[in-house]
Chains A and B, each alone.
Chain A
Amino acid sequence: MMHHVMGVSGYYPYLVALWLLPLVGAIVIWAFGPQLKSTAGPLGTAVIGGSFIGTLLSWSSATQNGGTAAALGAHQALFSWIPGFDFGLLLDPLSLLWALIITGVGFLIHMYSIGYMDGDKAFARFFAYMNFFVFAMLTLVLSDNFLGLLTGWGLVGLASYFLIGFWFFKPSAVAAARKAFVLNVVGDVGIMLAIFMIVASVHSIGFGDAFAFAGSFSSGWLFAICVLLFIGAAAKSAQVPLHTWLPDAMEGPTPVSALIHAATMVTAGVYLIARCAPLWSQNLNAQELVGTIGGLTALLGAILGTSQWDIKRILAYSTMSQIGYMIMGVGVGAYEGGVAHFFTHAFFKAQLFLASGLIIHALANEQDVRRMGGLRTKMPLAFAAMLTGVLAISGIPGFSGFFSKDQVIFGVLEHGHPWLYALGIVTAGITAYYMCRMLFLTFFGAYRGGVDPAQLGIRHSELAGSAESDDGAHGHAHAPAFWMNVPVAILIVPSVLAGWLMFGGSTSPWARFFAAQFPAEHLAAPAIGEGLTGIVTFAVVLVGMGVAWSRYGNAYATENAVERLRAESVHMPAVLANAFYFDAALDAIFVRSSQLFGTVFGRVVDPHIIDGGVREAAFSAQWLGSLMRSFQTGFLRAYAFILVFGVACFVVYYAAIAGGAR
Chain B
Amino acid sequence: MIALIVILLPIAAGFALYAVPDAHGRTSKIIGTAVAAATLLMTAAQPHAEFSMRWLSRPFTASLHFGATPVSIWIVLLLALCTTCAILATNVPRRRNFIAQMLLLEGAMMGLFLARDLMAFALFWDLMLLPVFFVLVNWGEHTATAWRYFLYNFAGGLTLLLATAAFGILYGSTDVIGRADVHIVGAWVPWIFAGFAFAFLIKTPVWPLHTWMPPTYSDMPSPMVAVVSSVQSKAGLYGLIVIGMAFMPDYLRAYSGAFIVLGVVSLLYGAFVALTQNDAKRIVAYSSLSHLGLIVLAIASFNPIALKGAIVYIVAHGLFSAALFLIIGYVEDREGTRSLARLGGLGAVNPRLAGAFTIAVLAALGLPGLAGFAGEIVILTGVFQAGYVWPTILALVPIVLASAYMLRLFQDVMNGPAVEDVPVRRDLTWLEGIAIAPLLLALVLVGVNPHALTVFDPAPYSVAASSQGVVR
Contact = CB atoms under 8 A, between A and B. Distances in A.
A155 interface: yes
A633 interface: no
B409 to A, nearest CB: 11
B262 to A, nearest CB: 13
Contact of A196 (B308, B381, B449): B381
Interface in A77-117: 79-85
A507 B348 CA distance: 57
B340 interface: no
A119 interface: no
Contact of A185 (B400, B408, B416): B400
Contact of A154 (B345, B368, B450): B368
B373 A154 contact: yes
Contacts of B312: 82
Contacts of A79: 449
B393 interface: yes
Nearest to A607: B211
Interface in A142-161: 147, 150-155, 158, 161
B450 A193 contact: no
B384 A153 contact: no
B139 interface: no
Interface string A22-39: 000000000000000000
Contact of A601 (B272, B392, B396, B400): B272
B377 A178 contact: no
A169 B411 CA distance: 10
B56 interface: no
B400 A598 contact: no
Contacts of A150: 368, 377
Contact of B400 (A80, A153, A170, A182): A182
Given A168-B414, A182-B400, A193 B308 contact: no
B11 interface: no
Interface in B400-428: 400-401, 403-404, 407-408, 411, 414-418
Interface residues of B, number: 52
A218 interface: no
A196 B407 contact: no
Contact of B393 (A165, A170, A178, A193): A193
B415 A598 contact: no
Contacts of A559: none
B381 A199 contact: yes
Contacts of A13: none
Contact of B415 (A83, A165, A599): A165
Contacts of A178: 404, 407-408, 411
B399 A185 contact: yes
Given A174-B416, A602-B273, A80 B367 contact: no
Interface string B371-385: 001100110110011
Contacts of B374: 81-82
Interface string B350-388: 000000000000100101110001100110110011000
B277 A147 contact: no
Interface string A462-490: 00000000000000000000000000000
SS class of chain A's interface: helix, strand, loop or mixed?
Answer: helix
Nearest to B209: A610
B400 A186 contact: yes
Interface in B25-80: none
Contacts of A82: 308, 312, 374, 378, 450-451, 454
Contacts of A181: 403, 407
Nearest to B457: A83
Interface in B183-212: 208, 210-211
B269 interface: yes
Contacts of B408: 178
Nearest to B410: A178
B384 A598 contact: no
Contact of A168 (B308, B403, B415): B415
B276 interface: yes
A520 interface: no
Nearest to B404: A182
Nearest to A597: B272
A197 interface: yes
Nearest to A618: B151
Interface string B172-187: 0000000000000000
A155 B366 CA distance: 11
Contacts, number: 133
B122 interface: no
A84 B384 CA distance: 16
A278 B39 CA distance: 54
A598 B416 contact: no
A192 B380 contact: yes
Contacts of B273: 598, 601-602, 606
B269 A601 contact: yes
A158 B362 contact: yes
B274 interface: yes
Contact of B275 (A154, A165, A598): A598
Interface string A159-197: 001000100111100100110011001101100110111
Contacts of B223: none
B367 A200 contact: no
Nearest to B286: A602
B347 interface: yes
A108 B364 CA distance: 35
A594 interface: yes
A599 to B, nearest CB: 5
Contacts of A193: 384, 392-393, 396
A189 B402 CA distance: 12
A169 B380 contact: no
Contacts of B385: 196, 199-200
Contacts of B277: 598, 602
A86 to B, nearest CB: 11
A199 B368 CA distance: 18
Interface string A610-645: 110110000000000000000000000000000000
A52 B397 CA distance: 39
A30 to B, nearest CB: 9
Given A147-B377, A178-B407, A598-B276, A155 B369 contact: yes
Given A82-B378, A82-B454, A197 B384 contact: yes
Nearest to B398: A189
A136 B385 CA distance: 29
A177 B407 CA distance: 9
A595 interface: yes
B279 to A, nearest CB: 11
A159 to B, nearest CB: 11
A501 B413 CA distance: 51
Contacts of B407: 161, 177-178, 181-182
Contacts of A597: 272, 275
Nearest to B358: A162
Q: Counting chain A CB atoms within 10 Å of each CB, which of B275, B305, B362, B392 scores highest? A: B275
Contacts of A170: 416
Contacts of B362: 158
Nearest to B308: A82
B411 A151 contact: no
Contact of B367 (A83, A155, A595, A602): A155
B396 A192 contact: yes
Given A81-B374, A158-B367, 16 more contacts: A82-B454, A83-B308, A147-B377, A168-B415, A169-B418, A174-B411, A174-B416, A177-B407, A178-B407, A178-B411, A182-B400, A182-B407, A196-B381, A196-B384, A607-B211, A610-B208
Interface of B: 208, 210-211, 214, 269, 272-277, 286, 305, 308, 312, 345, 347-348, 362, 365, 367-369, 373-374, 377-378, 380-381, 384-385, 392-393, 396-397, 399-401, 403-404, 407-408, 411, 414-418, 449-451, 454
6 contacts: A155-B368, A168-B415, A193-B384, A196-B384, A597-B275, A598-B273
The 8 closest A-B pairs by CB, nearest first: A598-B276, A196-B384, A154-B368, A151-B368, A598-B275, A597-B272, A602-B273, A598-B272
